[in-house]
Amino acid sequence: MTNDAHARLRDEWRLAAPLIDGFTPEVTETLVVTNPATGAQVGRVALADVRHADEAVAAAVRAFPGWRDIPTTERGAMVLAAVDAVEAIADELAALISLEVGKVLHEAQGDVRGSLAMVRGMVQLVAELEAGEDRTGLPGTGQASFVRLRHVPVGAVAVIGPWNTPIFLTFNAIAPALAAGATLVVKPAVEAPLALTAMLRAMAEHLPDGVINVVPGRGSVVGQHLAEHPDVRAVSFTGSTGTGRRIAAAAAANIKKVALELGGNDPAVVLESAEITDSLIAELVAGCFAMTGQICFNIKRIYVHRSRHDELVEKLSAAVSRIVVGDAFDPDAHIGPLATRDGYDNALRLLDEARAAGAVVRELGIRADSADWTAGNYIAPTVVTGIAADHELVLDEQFAPIIPIVPFDTDEEAIVEANRTEFGLASSIWSQDLRHAEAVARRIEAGNTFINAHRLGASVPLVPFGGVKQSGLGRTHLLYSLEHVTDEHGIVGFSHPAAQLPGITRWQTVLADHPAKENV
């Protein structure tokens, strides 16, 4: 199946090349993009440089006034036409994601189609906001005859995307920007640039030149330059906490909007009041092992009340033993390889160190015939017990199909351990007693705390998503996403020069008592 996918891959998609103002500039340096399941070459990425980044920003700045001033309904129709064009190639793009990232095909399909749904939703939301919010007569508006609050696009937006979910997470910033009337400079991750670049090129054909610009390149070169560029009005980054710090520092020099979705080490706390049911186990498995553990808000560590520990470990291990590890195109596979060799090497190191520290490391799952364990970045789904609460595998983000389980004796102990790291993306509490669960949830330091869930789909659109502490800045979902790519613009009107406003009487007196005199 993998060979079939390679054969069907369009020639023009085998190179992730820059797109600037509707043109493809020549780039001499490239890197190989490999399939993490086999090590085979999938394509190449052209490494743009600072000059290309400058040209892309200049193109976005030039295109901005015209794109902004297109009536909202007309602009929305253009964006929807671009989405429709991608819909026709969605399955091909999903297969390309599986080739360059290794995630199983149905997860890759969700990456593409979820992004299209996101754009459509943003277009509808912006249309509803077109007239702005009328606050006339509300408390706090004083003597004003009318008060309007609008959201206006910021200008050129730089989006620096991740490799683990290369389209959907990048579109968390792209979708609101396009819908709101901002223009874009997008830097795909060099590890997984092919599908995102192909999708953006397909969309750009239906939009004015300069609205979407793509500059693949090294983060230390292109990403850094975009973050510090004075004409970029907002920058959005998804990736590691260390890189996020550098992005924030670079952006600070020019006082621009910064949105950072960074690392997470999400805790799941299974309380004494929990019942270890089959549905709880199924939810934990989905939350720990989806996308081979490479989701920012996957469960990365489980704390379980000591009275429930042995039962949870036994039932969870039995469930994990049924996970099939295979090639992304194997219809029987549940998870694929890790996307990067660095991630694979780090996972092996953590497991070796856990064993050396005396932990019990259970490598489970079923190895499908489709998986080449000698060539691919395959890690068996693994349950680790008997590990110290302060071990690196527990306190750091392993980003792999590995789950450490640590017992606790009191709620207070669980809360302290859950809050022990500088990560604070998401978290979860598990219990049959919702009052007990919510009381504990209120004390967890995280952007979101779920009760009896913790996986893709648990984060609802009406609740903002994002992290606290070192897990990020800003929020996504609906209006929260639009806030990053728009500025609030208040228009306050008076029917005539308002003599009744506070403080005006004194100035009227000053002007009356001191007639104008000629300057000497």
* Contact in structure between 339 and 291 (CB atoms under 8 Å): no
Structure token pair of residue 484: 């990053």
Greatest alpha-carbon span in the chain = 97
Q: Report how far residue 437's alpha carbon sits from residue 273's, in angstroms, rounded to the nearest whole number.
A: 9
Residue positions annotated with a catalytic role: 261, 296
Residues 421 and 335 in one domain: yes
For residue 172, is it within any domain? yes
Residues 256 and 284 in one domain: no
CA dihedral of residues 266, 267, 273, 276 (deg, nearest 10)? 80
C-beta neighbour count of 357 within 10 angstroms: 13
The secondary structure of 131-188 as a DSSP string is T-EE-TTSTT-TT-SEEEEEEEE-SEEEEE--SSSTTHHHHHHHHHHHHHT-EEEEE-
* pLDDT for position 515: 65
* Contact in structure between 118 and 175 (CB atoms under 8 Å): yes
Structure token pair of residue 26: 């020549």
For residue 481, is it within any domain? yes
Q: Model confidence at 136, in pLDDT bands (50, 70, 90)?
A: confident
Residue range of the domain that includes 413 = 266-466
* pLDDT for position 145: 85
Residues 186 and 286 in one domain: no
Kindly tell me if the per-residue pLDDT of 5 is higher than 80.
Answer: no
DSSP SS3 for 71: coil
Kindly tell me if the per-residue pLDDT of 130 is higher than 80.
Answer: no
Q: Report how far residue 152's alpha carbon sits from residue 119's, in angstroms, rounded to the nearest whole number.
A: 18
pLDDT tens profile 334-345: 999 999 999 999
For residue 511, is it within any domain? no
pLDDT tens profile 347-403: 999 999 999 999 999 999 999 999 999 999 999 999 999 999 999 999 999 999 999
- Residue among 8, 6, 23 nearest 201 (CA): 23
Sheet with 257-261, strands from edge to edge, namely 212-214, 183-187, 156-160, 234-238, 257-261, 472-473
Minimum mean pLDDT among 131-135, 172-176, 180-184, 506-510: which range? 506-510
Residues 101 and 152 in one domain: yes
Q: How many domains, the chain?
A: 2
Q: What is the mean pLDDT of residues 309-314?
A: 98
Q: Model confidence at 223, in pLDDT bands (50, 70, 90)?
A: very high
For residue 48, is it within any domain? yes
Residues 449 and 481 in one domain: no
For residue 496, is it within any domain? no
Residues 249 and 368 in one domain: no
Residues 8 and 94 in one domain: yes
Count the alpha carbons within 13 Å of 233 in the hemisphere toward its beta carbon.
Answer: 19
Q: What is the CATH number of the domain that holds 243?
A: 3.40.605.10
Kindly tell me if the per-residue pLDDT of 224 is higher than 60.
Answer: yes
For residue 514, is it within any domain? no
Exposed, middle or buried: residue 490 (CB in 10 Å: 0-12, 13-18, 19+)?
A: exposed
Residues 297 and 419 in one domain: yes
For residue 96, is it within any domain? yes
Residues 300 and 379 in one domain: yes
* pLDDT for position 4: 78
Average pLDDT taken over every residue of the chain: 94
pLDDT tens profile 485-502: 999 999 998 887 755 677
What DSSP designation does 294 have?
-
Residue at token pair 């009227």: 508
* pLDDT for position 497: 73
What's the per-residue H, E or C state across 423-442? Answer: CCCEEEEECCCHHHHHHHHC
Residue 227 belongs to what H/E stretch?
Answer: helix 224-228
Residues 327 and 355 in one domain: yes
pLDDT tens profile 65-82: 999 999 999 999 999 999
* pLDDT for position 140: 84
For residue 40, is it within any domain? yes
pLDDT tens profile 428-452: 999 999 999 999 999 999 999 999 9
Q: Model confidence at 2, in pLDDT bands (50, 70, 90)?
A: low
Within 8 A by CB and 6+ apart from 389, the residues are 406, 417, 420
Residues 95 and 174 in one domain: yes
Residues 80 and 152 in one domain: yes
Q: What is the CATH number of the domain that holds 401?
A: 3.40.309.10
